A = this chain, B = another copy of it.
Amino acid sequence: MVKVSVFGKGNMGSAIGQNFADAGNQTEYITKDSTVETLGDIVVLAVPYPAVHDILEKYRSALAGKIIIDITNPVDFNTFDDLVVPADSSAAAEIAAKLPDSKVVKAFNTTFAATLATKKVADQHQTTVLIASDDASAKKQVTDALNGCGLKIIDAGSLKRARELEAMGFLQISLASAEKISWTGGFGIFN
């Protein structure tokens, strides 16, 4: 059992926090109005990408040494045609650069909130979370902490793969926005 601090209690934060709770961990939510002194072993940044940077600023020292899960899809919602991060980077890489003393993990950005809450894509196929990090131990701790929650976890490699994960997240959002798929469906992963 670990303590998990989830920033944000929207659809994504709630569903992710619930999964950690379902696996037997202690979950706390931190919202704009709350302030905490210390953070859990695992910290989930379940806020829109533009809101991440204020959190990194405010909690810089509390985040040191922690596992930080970045779930963001840094879509440019003005154009809906690009990401706001440089093409050769990713939100996760930008966050990692700002948190040299934390272990940054990319996860949960290729799964819609509904598929995390129900543990199934389109009520049919077990939801798989792709996870990437340069810290193998952090990936293992997150995977272990989620053991038994009902989601499948697949190691997608180093944090560099966040670029592809964010491209996939963006594509999935753009398909749902264009009503080509629903927000309860999307990408299911098959062995």
Contact = CB atoms under 8 A, between A and B. Distances in A.
Interface of A: 81, 86-88, 121-122, 124-125, 130, 154-158, 160-161, 163-165, 167-168, 170-171, 174-175, 178, 180-182, 185-191
Nearest to A161: B171
9 contacts: A81-B158, A87-B87, A156-B174, A156-B175, A161-B171, A161-B174, A181-B189, A181-B190, A186-B190
A185 B190 contact: yes
Nearest to A170: B164
Copies in the complex: 2
Given A87-B87, A125-B188, A164-B174, 6 more contacts: A81-B158, A88-B88, A122-B190, A124-B190, A164-B168, A164-B170
Given A155-B180, A164-B168, A180-B154, A186 B186 contact: no
A65 to B, nearest CB: 28
Contact of A191 (B156, B157, B182): B182
Contacts of A189: 181, 185-188
A175 B167 CA distance: 16
A169 B161 CA distance: 12
Contact of A160 (B81, B86, B181, B191): B81
Contacts of A191: 122, 181-182, 185
Contacts of A161: 171, 174
Going nearest first, the 6 A-B pairs with the smallest beta carbon separation are A167-B167, A122-B190, A87-B88, A185-B190, A164-B171, A87-B87
